[in-house]
Structure 1
Amino acid sequence: MKNKVRVQLCFMMFLEFFIWGAWFVTLGTFLGNNLRATDSEIALAFSTQSWGAIIAPFVIGIIADRYFNAERILGILHVLGAVLMYFMYQSTAFDGFYILVLAYMILYMPTLALVNSVSFNQMKNPAKEFSMVRVFGTLGWIIAGLSISYIFHWDQGENIGQGLLRNTFLMTAIASLIFGVFSFTLPKTPPRAASTGDVNIKEILGLDSLSLFKDKNFFIFFISSVLICIPLAFYYQNANPFLVEIGMNNPTGKMTLGQVSEIAFMLLLPYFFTKFRFKKTILVAMAAWVVRYLLFAFGDVDELGFMLIVGIALHGICYDFFFVSGQIYTDSKAGDKFKSSAQGLITLATYGVGMLIGFWVAGKISTAYLINDGEHLWQTIWLYPAGFALTVFILFAIFFKTEKIDYQS
């Protein structure tokens, strides 16, 4: 791969995840403080990510893979996203905002697959080259969070009250417009299925890989993947509002420790996966979810502030050890015939169905433990995902049988 192309791909990944991290992390805080949204309404807004994930396979499978270059669709989606973000910046009521964020996520979620397609199309050995490109996406998310907290200070107490968090949408709109224009300069990525026959909806949704459920271990893993996304949704939806409410300084910037740890544990994963095998790796990830939420439940911003920081930093284990290991496991079980469709099925089940349920549950529980002055009984709220993750841990430990999975780093 030429250096010019490598730089283009790295900048593409940086912008892709800068755009996501620039508004999604603080969304709950903005809605609660500036649009006076209820916890159920906040859950509804976060669930648009899941609806976007459910609809994304149709966009990629029916349109991108068959009729248009991936980089062109990427550019169009981000330009349209910039327009929607600008209108979100101007929103003053939740009802209008919800329509905009739903439309935005339906446009944005397909771009996650499109940037991968553009990248893989330029790589001779994606297994070795992709990680060095993808890491710039994590850096983009980190820079977005650090900018909000340490450069603009939009997530500080008085600034939140004055509505400065609204500026995250304007910043995202500008970045999206830049990315949209930049996308048309990316290497050409022609449609892969332009000359194939009729559209196979089962293949697009990954449903042709359902035969893998005959393998009991894969079925247990699949169900566990859906269930673990319920406590995961609590983190995405509640972590930033929680840290703001209890008085943590620069909460968005400190939450980027999760992405820093994600990079570190991604480097450790090949060693851990090879030495301890798949089942133990997944169990460590599930245990980390339990520990993280217990730390959130019993930590505070004073003497026990370190517990909150450790809870944030556990994100690398929670995410990498479960989801990346799960992708490796799915790839090994699917074989050549179902590689793409099996990954699509897992993505649809986790980011789609699993987190859709999770956001709804998190909203209901947060509402149930809201006290009169607008504060929450956070200790009780965090014990729910801790208990749920522990239940999934026990079920997986009992029913998933140890097996050897080959891992090629």
Structure 2
Amino acid sequence: MSIKLRLTIMNFFQFFVWGIWLISLGGYMGQVFGPVEGSSIGLSIGRTYGSMGWASLFMPALLGIIADKYFSAQKVLGISHIIAGIAIFFATKASNSTEMYWVIFATSCFYMPTIALNNSVSYAVLNKFSFDVQKTFTPIRVWGTVGFIIAMWVTDLTDWKSNTLQFVFASVSMIVTGLFCFTLPDVPAENKNSNQSLTSKFGLDSFVLFKQKKMAIFFVFAMLLGAALQITNMFGDTFIRDFGSNPEYKGTFGVEHSVFIISLSQISETLFILTIPFFLKRFGIKQVMIFSMIAWVLRFALFGIGNPGSGVIFLILSMIVYGMAFDFFNISGSLFVEKQTDSKIRSSAQGLFMLMTNGIGAIIGGELAGRTVSYFTIGNKIQWSNVWFSFAAYAFVIAIAFAILFKYKHDPKELENIEH
């Protein structure tokens, strides 16, 4: 088996195992725990998803240090997947939201670091066999998104999304993925961080960037927008499934295959990636990030007016704009960090960007979203339109504030060498 094929398989399963349960978890919790927990279920779902943010604060750096200093990276990657696979199995035993919270937290502690470790292993292996990393990795990585989409389809079409079989499937898939990691070429520990302080190892030296007004403003907005990134992952499936309680929508394709409908978001994501070079060159980083924020406004607003019946077109449009909402900020934001930071702390700065969006932002987003859903829950009935319009208003305020406060002048020549 060729090196590129092995890495393609690895990247495929890296995100396949996440797609099995990430989108359907909220809907499952609402269906199974909601009748008992009532209006508090929204807050419980938000906090459970927020546990991924807590795990992202420290575990990626910790396991990164272990891979750098003590064990081969592909072995750390494999062991992490196996432990995550064992942890997610206990979701089948969770009898309430509190138990589910701790299962997902434990799973995330070992799964979330594998995202960065997978990239590191892929880069190292490609370099080892003299491939052009920049040209070779992108078509390999796109199979990760394909894996995520296919996993969503499998979970939806088998209706495992409605029962604990989704967690059994995820557990087995994670363990198999972990075992496959041991077949990859060796990426030995190099002790490259042996002379660094703990502050440097955990990427904390990049916090010096907060002394720069422009960077401080950028990272604050990265955190605020990061709070929006996971909201539809948390409640999108729950929202669409909830229409099934209304006879008008019960049995419609959208209700029966809610995860399949949501998968259109990931398909849109893969397509919008291809448009980023054009938009960045034409409009610049700041404008592209504003486009992302406006797309988040539309994402939530279209959910607010959509339904699986006559309003299904609005749900589909919401899935389409998701690609712009997600990609335009993540990729242009990462590029901004790349161009604005010194090479000595560039990796740490990228880590800080991820920490602000997927760590602190995700924690805030989980709490904010959960409280919003709980606030608009009357009895066991969630007023979904109010929920989504509230999120749309939040994203709109962020967009206006960002446009006013973030100062950045576009230089078309600066982005001439962006690779497609």
Give TM class, smaller chain: over 0.9
Distance 1:209 1:297, change over 3 A: same
Aligned-residue offset at 1:195: 5.2
- Asked if the contact 2:60/2:112 (under 8 Å) is kept, the reply is no
1:108 pairs with 2:118: no
- Asked if the contact 1:231/1:386 (under 8 Å) is kept, the reply is no
The one-letter amino acid of 1:408's match is I
Aligned-residue offset at 1:55: 1.7
Which residue does the alignment assign to 1:130?
137
**For residues 344-383 of structure 1, what are the structure 2 equivalents within 5 Å?**
344-372=351-379, 374-383=380-389
Which residue does the alignment assign to 2:252?
none
Q: In the aligned structure 2, how far is the partner of 1:204 from the partner of 1:307? A: 46
State the Cα deviation string for residues 154-206 of structure 1 (Å, max 9, x = none). Answer: 34xxxx3xxxx2111011011011111111001111224x1543452322333
State the secondary structure of the residue aligned to 1:23. coil
Please give the TM-score of this superposition, normalised by the length of structure 2: 0.90
RMSD, aligned CA = 1.6
Aligned-residue offset at 1:73: 0.8
Which residue does the alignment assign to 1:258?
265
Q: In the aligned structure 2, how far is the partner of 1:317 from the partner of 1:191? A: 38
Distance 1:214 1:87, change over 3 A: closer
1:17 pairs with 2:23: no
Distance 1:93 1:399, change over 3 A: closer
Question: Which runs of 5 or more residues in structure 2 are unaligned?
Answer: 245-254
**For residues 3-402 of structure 1, what are the structure 2 equivalents within 5 Å?**
4-36=2-34, 38-123=41-126, 124-150=131-157, 152-155=158-161, 160=162, 165-192=163-190, 194=191, 196-247=193-244, 248-372=255-379, 374-402=380-408
Please give the TM-score of this superposition, normalised by the length of structure 1: 0.93
- Asked if the contact 2:64/2:117 (under 8 Å) is kept, the reply is no
Which residue does the alignment assign to 1:408?
418
State the Cα deviation string for residues 36-57 of structure 1 (Å, max 9, x = none). Answer: 4522221221111101111223
State the Cα deviation string for residues 354-395 of structure 1 (Å, max 9, x = none). Answer: 1101100111111111122x2210011111211111111111
- Asked if the contact 2:65/2:193 (under 8 Å) is kept, the reply is no
Identity of aligned residues (%): 32
Distance 1:246 1:223, change over 3 A: same
- Asked if the contact 1:205/1:345 (under 8 Å) is kept, the reply is no
State the Cα deviation string for residues 3-41 of structure 1 (Å, max 9, x = none). Answer: 711111111111110111101111111112123452222
Q: In the aligned structure 2, how far is the partner of 1:195 from the partner of 1:140? A: 33
Aligned-residue offset at 1:106: 0.5
Distance 1:392 1:266, change over 3 A: same
- Asked if the contact 1:230/1:385 (under 8 Å) is kept, the reply is no
- How many matched pairs? 396
Q: In the aligned structure 1, how far is the partner of 2:9 from the partner of 2:192? A: 31
